[in-house]
Amino acid sequence: MLDKSEIRRHRLGNLLQSILLILIMGMLMGYIALLLAGEWFALCVIGMVILVYLTTPALALSFVTRLYRCRPLDHDEAPALYQVLRLLSTRAGLEKMPRLYYMPSQMENAFTLGSRQDAVIVVSHGLFSRLTLEELAGVVAHEISHVANNDIKVMSFADITGRITRFLALAGCLLLLINLPFYVYANQVLPWWPILVLIFAPILADLSQLALSRVREFNADLGAAILLGTPTPLVAALVKLDERGASVYERWGLASRDPKNPSVLRSHPETKKRIERLLSLSPRHPLFVHSPLTDIARQSLSLDTKVFFQPDKPKWHRSGMWY
């Protein structure tokens, strides 16, 4: 049985951290806009961000699925996995069950696209061939938690805010360079504080966005454990994939070519920290215990790989994407 006090503590911590990071990003963007053109411009920028966030749809499913050469996974190809998906979607309170897509890549990867009302969960060939059904259920539960928590929208807002912050900071630096001769000619002292803000704002925005991503990943791990009634399936999947040196949750393929990045530069927490947090939810239980999905997991993962594309080895694109 999960430790309810630990669940409440983690939930509250994740919520407060998310709110704080979003406020930091929003205030940073607003302050730079204020420096550039005053209060009205700052209000207009904030209003524009909110408008874009509310009116712009999520990243087109067709674009991402074409990029990764994904295709829909039929129910007949993986009936047991669909049974798991249906059960978890009901527990998460989703009105519409997410669709499953298959990605013909040997890289162990899974990610979510779309919105709460129309979500797609993409699972790679590497995960299908590497994980058991119960371990795969842990991965799917993690993705469903992202859908239920509207994490795609949250990270979309963070991305929009970060992009505008970087653009405004660049515009401010260019204006400063253009006006620098006039300051020198007029023998005026440059205001160093605004200059430092313009220089370091993009870095702070990026670090805040990465930190927010890590918090939402921790929250999705917590949600997966709650949906499954135990952290065991997700822990088992993380342990197995960590032994292989792979990260199952490097969403969008934004993984560094050097796996030894500092933790502050990662979009996802270190696997060890994920496992420690998951195990803290049921500290009195051994690692492998009975899961509510055990009966389903005993069924074979009837996946006819012959009908799939030939899986590719992981490749790195100059844009920074792994696929």
Residue-wise burial string across 279-309, b where 16 or more C-beta atoms lie within 10 A, e elsewhere = bebbeebeeeeebebeebbeeebebeeeebe
Residue-wise burial string across 242-275, b where 16 or more C-beta atoms lie within 10 A, e elsewhere = beeebbbbbbbbebeeeeeeeeeebbbbebeebb
* 148 vs 88: CA distance, rounded Å: 11
Residue 270 appears among annotated catalytic residues: no
Using the Cα atoms of residue 118, residue 98, residue 221 and residue 227 in order, give the sign of their dihedral.
Answer: positive
Q: Are 278 and 239 in contact (CB under 8 A)?
A: no
Helix (H, G, I), strand (E, B) or coil at 77: helix
Q: Where are the alpha helices (DSSP H) in 56-132?
A: 61-67, 79-92, 125-130
Q: Which of 77, 134, 135, 143 is catalytic?
A: 143
Give catalytic residue positions: 143
